[in-house]
Structure 1
Amino acid sequence: MPRNRSGMWFEDFEIGQVVEHAVTRTVTEADNVLFTCLTMNPQPMHLDAEFSAQQEFGKPLVNSLYTLGLVVGIAVPELTLGTTIANLGFESVTFPSPVFAGDTVWVCSEIVAARASRSRPEAGIVTFEHCGFVRDDTLICRCRRTALMRRRPGSREE
């Protein structure tokens, strides 16, 4: 069992439970450029200030996949650090508003489903809805993801 654990055990999750995460993160231009280049995305709306100045938003947009990763990552310490077995997938992902360098992202998560695993008695399956916000509480990302979570030691249904 991992020694570094702050995440919740499967038994700790309750449907409807909402967590406002303590960690926030201000996105920098370097974050956006590095992520965009590392993922081989040459889209000028992320990398080219002159190109972006002539587009709808007037400045470079933060790469949406970076936004998704950041929103999920901010949720990790309180929910899943050391207690996730595997991320099983994303049911939906939306980006209703853009993110720009200098925006500070904060996240809240809701538990929307939880059930014991039928094939793994040491685990349960939890579905999270993560919502990321910036500025004046503008929603910038909403995603539903499902994870295979560890049960509390000694509480396995066997």
Structure 2
Amino acid sequence: MIETAADGTYFEDIEVGPVQVSSSVIFERDAIIAFARQWDPLPVHLDDNAARAAGFDGLTASGTHMLAVKQRLLHEFDLGPTVIASFGSDETRYHAPARPGDVVELHFSWVSKRSSKSRPSCGIAQHLSELRRIDGVLLLSILDTILIRRRVTEEVYRAS
């Protein structure tokens, strides 16, 4: 058998349905402001009064910051060297703001998978990522489609 990566999750390992949960991360006030200053300097991400004037209970994390936290936590699910590429993200939704002191974790599940017609050594899979506060409140959801390696057998290798 020819294997293309030393570790990680292969196409054959994907089980559609079960939800895995990452470790937790805290949205620290200083980190929210620092991220916003560099990447998304809207007033609601920098100033409590501006956030309250916009209808929030105070400072909120940037959606881009939430996506960055989601992406970092995603690496806990051992996809690693088996992921070849992302085809894109769909249905990105911000359900509630992340605020200073919020403790969040990523809920991850595979939603679908199929063999690649053009690349027999690969599969195409979709996964749902939900960034949730530890009290269960959903903050962010996103559906990603990826190209992922198969465990390459001699038969698959000859066919490709």
Fold match (TM-score > 0.5): yes
Mapped partners of 1:54, 1:101: distance in 2: 17
Match of 2:31 in 1: 31
Three-state SS of the structure 2 residue aligned to 1:75 is helix
Give 1:25 shift.
Answer: 0.8
* Contact map agreement 2:105 2:134 (CA 8 A) in 1: no
Alignment of 1:78-93 (within 5 A): 78-93=77-92
Give 1:32 shift.
Answer: 1.9
Letter paired with 1:89:
G
Match of 1:58 in 2: 57
1:20 equivalent to 2:31? Answer no
- Percentage identity across paired residues of the two chains: 25
* Contact map agreement 1:84 1:148 (CA 8 A) in 2: yes
Letter paired with 1:20:
V
Mapped partners of 1:54, 1:135: distance in 2: 27
Higher helix proportion, which one?
2
Alignment of 1:116-131 (within 5 A): 116-131=115-130
Mapped partners of 1:105, 1:71: distance in 2: 9
- 1:120/1:31 Cα in 2 relative to 1: closer, same or farther (>3 Å)? farther
**Normalising by structure 2, what TM-score?**
0.84
Letter paired with 1:61:
T
Mapped partners of 1:87, 1:54: distance in 2: 38
Letter paired with 2:25:
R
Residues 107-134 of structure 1, C-alpha deviations (whole Å, 9 max, x = no match)? 1112111011112222111100111111
Q: Could you list the runs of 4 or more consecutive aligned residues of structure 1 that deviate by over 3 angstroms after TM superposition?
A: 153-156
- Stretches of structure 1 that go unaligned for 5 or more consecutive residues are none
- Stretches of structure 2 that go unaligned for 5 or more consecutive residues are none
Mapped partners of 2:154, 2:53: distance in 1: 58
Match of 2:66 in 1: 67
Mapped partners of 2:94, 2:52: distance in 1: 21
> RMSD between aligned alpha carbons?
2.0
My pick for the range that moved more, 92-101 or 47-56, is 47-56
